[in-house]
Structure 1
Amino acid sequence: MIAILIFTIAAGCALPIQTAMNSRLRAGFSQSDDARAVPNGDGRELMPVTGSSAEDGAITADGASAPGESMPSGGAFPSGPSAPSDRAVPRGDGGKPAFVRRSPSARRASLQAAVGAALVAFIVGSLTLALVALVRGLPLTVAPHTPLWAFSGGLLGATALVALILLFPHIGAAGSVILPLIGKIAAGVLIDSQGWFESLVRAMSLPRLLGVLAVLLGIYLAIIGPTQGWHRRRVGDKASTRTGETTLTSKARSTITPVYFLLGAGVGVLSAVQTAVNGRLTVAMGSSISSGLVSYSTSTVFLLLLLIALRWRPRRIPLTPWWMWLGGPLGAAFVVGLASAAPVIGTGPAILVALCGQITASVAIDHFGWFSTKVSPLTVERLCGAALVAVGMWAYSLL
């Protein structure tokens, strides 16, 4: 039991790292596919724009007061998670700015880049799991009478990863963590209480309910908090704009629409169902690595067919550090970890144990600024949030 818990926590740590790598890789694919010139409005010169987040689309110079993001002349749009869909580009002549709006082709390019980044992750992850299975001589046979839905984990995982990559520029780093976790916990509790997907039945009790609430509060304190959350965004919105700096409007920075909220929570629901489904496949195959290989292979085939349907052809290989291509093994570790833990401790507890690792890794990445992320030092509030998650996890898993 102790080994399962430790492995699941480590698997949870791998997920935020994979998300950071995939986001960087998606930006690289976007740069290779989408370099445009923006007219400055006077018909005489062009300003280069690099579509680093694949959100820029058709160019208009109508001077409309759409929510935008200022960019210094000759610069590139920020590729951070808060980049809005409509951007304002200074003309350089004191006139009205030209706005960059998303066109249908830009949305398609954004989807192509996200699917491409996810495909790379699943290919590398599949090769890693195949090598491990080959070295250990693990069987790939499935027990008879295994339900067909037990093989759907790959489709669920691929859909969830692509959706998360697409949502990242709109809901931000904190939103990409907190919103899926809400869906994961809600779906995990429902699956365990009803025994869906042949999972262990765990009735909801008052201590377990309080544990879930403690986890949710801890997630808010540890992930959002004053250093990244709404308080800082409101203060930042009132700050004056200095020449040459990029600033976001209040609407662009702080608004998470109900659509984004539901989509983010839906990603968490898909992940929770995938955990239960992969747990059933693990029982049928006798190995979490074997079931993870089947799941990842299914995801790879699905995404490859989707890219063929989208007719995506990258112009060049993204110029990113070599280690940015290693998100696949980390994602595989997460899938294998949850698939190993779900049949033993249940889907809900497995998700909550992994949350402990997710929050630990997220706090470390923010504190040290790993993977070119913005540094957000560890605070007492975030530390208390992590402790609340640990207490809530214990209450839900053991009481």
Structure 2
Amino acid sequence: MLAIIIGLTIGVGLPMQTSVNSRLRQSLGSPFWASFISFLIGTLFLAAITLFEQHTLLIASTVITTQPAWLWLGGLFGVVYLTGNIVLFPKIGSVQTVIMPVLGQILAGLLIDNFGWFHSPVSQLTLVRGLGALLVLVGVIITVAGNDWLARKTGQGGYESVLEATPKGSHLMLWRLFGVFAGMLSASQTAINGHLGLVLNSKIQAAFISFLIGTVALGLIVLVLRLKWHYQSPANGHNPWWMWIGGFIGSFYILGNIYLVPLVGTGLAVIIVLVGLMAGSLLIDQFGWLASKRNPVTSIQLIGLVVMIAGVGVVRLL
């Protein structure tokens, strides 16, 4: 039960982090600068907690020399996933930018559990677990695209379907596959960071290392692209204080996953977090939190969320 609470909580935080970082992007004028600042704040926060707990930020040299190279890739995978969403949005549309990475996350989570990749706890892929995961994916599709599908069926038009992206092009399938691949890297990051916490015997230090590597990678991207620092306030007001808290939310997300993986495995951890993510998105839409436009939740979206919860129950209990 504790694992479910942790997974749902950090999942709810994800769309909030997205809204916060989107607002930061408006003020900085660049998604890469916004991501870098968010990662940097999260890294400093986790560094302070690590120093309080471990009294050092350093890792024993024996850990570096004896552990596999993939143990340090979690932060890089997170950056690819984050940047991938930025790139995908104008290429395949908003609906598929959500669905394709989710498909990759669920697929990779089940494979990681089945084969014990990244030293994750082994949980065999049975027909029941597969059906439960499929229910979760169907629930995501209903929640994200259900309103658009109903609008098309009733002849209102002006919406994109699940399988049809707004932009057209010969490379559309390649972008979809990239979205799935980015989602698989996200699930791999969850598994890797979970094992890193066990190796370091400190979940907080593992989260710090992951964030630090991601921050360095984003810093290099900013340098290579030669992006200028540009800070501005909106013409009709001031920058809210909360646009700087995305890094804190992200740090709790990474830390929560590091706790989850040894308890329930990568596949179930990914699925539980996805349910929280969808629930958080609906809450933001319903109440217009964090300066978001209010979009009242519809019955079909609630049905999608219920289908996702049913899928979690199938994977978890059967």
Q: TM-score range by the shorter chain?
A: 0.7 to 0.9
Report the Cα distance in structure 1 between the residues aligned to 2:125 and 2:53, rounded to whole angstroms.
39
Q: Does 2:306 correspond to 1:391? A: no
Q: How much does 1:236 deviate? A: 4.1
| 1:366–1:233 Cα change, 3 Å | farther
Specify the code of the residue in structure 2 equivalent to 1:308: L
Q: Report the TM-score when normalising by structure 1.
A: 0.70
Equivalent of residue 278 in structure 1, options 178, 193, 207: 193
Specify the code of the residue in structure 2 equivalent to 1:335: I
- Structure-to-structure mapping, 1:137-156, within 5 angstroms: 137=54, 140=57, 141=59, 144=63, 145-156=66-77
In the alignment, structure 2 segments of 5+ residues that lack a partner are none
Q: How much does 1:3 deviate? A: 2.2
Q: How much does 1:227 deviate? A: 5.4
Counterpart for residue 261 of structure 1 = 176
Higher relative contact order (CA 8 A, sep 6+): 2
Identity %: 36
Report the Cα distance in structure 2 between the residues aligned to 1:346 and 1:179, rounded to whole angstroms.
22
In the alignment, structure 1 segments of 5+ residues that lack a partner are 31-112, 239-250
Counterpart for residue 41 of structure 2 = 124
SS of equivalent residue, structure 1 residue 235: coil
Q: How much does 1:233 deviate? A: 11
SS of equivalent residue, structure 2 residue 156: helix
Query: Residues 296-346 of structure 1, C-alpha deviation per residue, up to 9 Å, x if partnerless?
Result: 011111111221122121243465322112111111111111121112211
Q: How much does 1:172 deviate? A: 4.9
Q: Does 2:310 correspond to 1:310? A: no
Greater Rg over alpha carbons, structure:
1
Query: Residues 175-233 of structure 1, C-alpha deviation per residue, up to 9 Å, x if partnerless?
Result: 44322111100111111111111111111112111101111111112222115877389
Counterpart for residue 208 of structure 1 = 129
Counterpart for residue 321 of structure 1 = 240
| 1:20–1:286 Cα change, 3 Å | same
Query: Residues 93-135 of structure 1, C-alpha deviation per residue, up to 9 Å, x if partnerless?
Result: xxxxxxxxxxxxxxxxxxxx22211101100111111222233
Specify the code of the residue in structure 1 equivalent to 2:74: G
Report the Cα distance in structure 1 between the residues aligned to 2:94 and 2:288, rounded to whole angstroms.
13
Counterpart for residue 31 of structure 2 = 114
Equivalent of residue 341 in structure 1, options 260, 264, 273: 260
Residues 25 and 318 in structure 1, CA contact (< 8 A), matched pair in contact too: no
Q: How much does 1:25 deviate? A: 2.4
| 1:28–1:163 Cα change, 3 Å | farther
SS of equivalent residue, structure 2 residue 244: helix
Query: Residues 223-276 of structure 1, C-alpha deviation per residue, up to 9 Å, x if partnerless?
Result: 2211587738972439xxxxxxxxxxxx98476932432232222111011111
Q: Report the TM-score when normalising by structure 2.
A: 0.86
SS of equivalent residue, structure 2 residue 123: coil
Equivalent of residue 139 in structure 2, options 208, 213, 218: 218
CA RMSD, 1 decimal: 2.6
Report the Cα distance in structure 2 between the residues aligned to 1:234 and 1:332, rounded to whole angstroms.
44
| 1:316–1:377 Cα change, 3 Å | closer
Q: Report how many aligned residue pairs link the two structures.
A: 304
Determine which structure has the larger helix proportion and give its number.
Answer: 2
Residues 91 and 167 in structure 2, CA contact (< 8 A), matched pair in contact too: no
SS of equivalent residue, structure 1 residue 375: coil
Determine which structure has the larger strand proportion and give its number.
Answer: 1
Report the Cα distance in structure 2 between the residues aligned to 1:186 and 1:286, rounded to whole angstroms.
29
| 1:388–1:8 Cα change, 3 Å | same
Specify the code of the residue in structure 1 equivalent to 2:182: V
Query: Residues 56-84 of structure 1, C-alpha deviation per residue, up to 9 Å, x if partnerless?
Result: xxxxxxxxxxxxxxxxxxxxxxxxxxxxx
SS of equivalent residue, structure 1 residue 376: coil
| 1:28–1:262 Cα change, 3 Å | farther
Report the Cα distance in structure 2 between the residues aligned to 1:328 and 1:233, rounded to whole angstroms.
42
Counterpart for residue 287 of structure 1 = 202
Specify the code of the residue in structure 1 equivalent to 2:52: V
- Structure-to-structure mapping, 1:368-387, within 5 angstroms: 368-387=287-306
Residues 184 and 269 in structure 1, CA contact (< 8 A), matched pair in contact too: yes
SS of equivalent residue, structure 1 residue 208: helix
Report the Cα distance in structure 1 between the residues aligned to 2:287 and 2:25, rounded to whole angstroms.
23
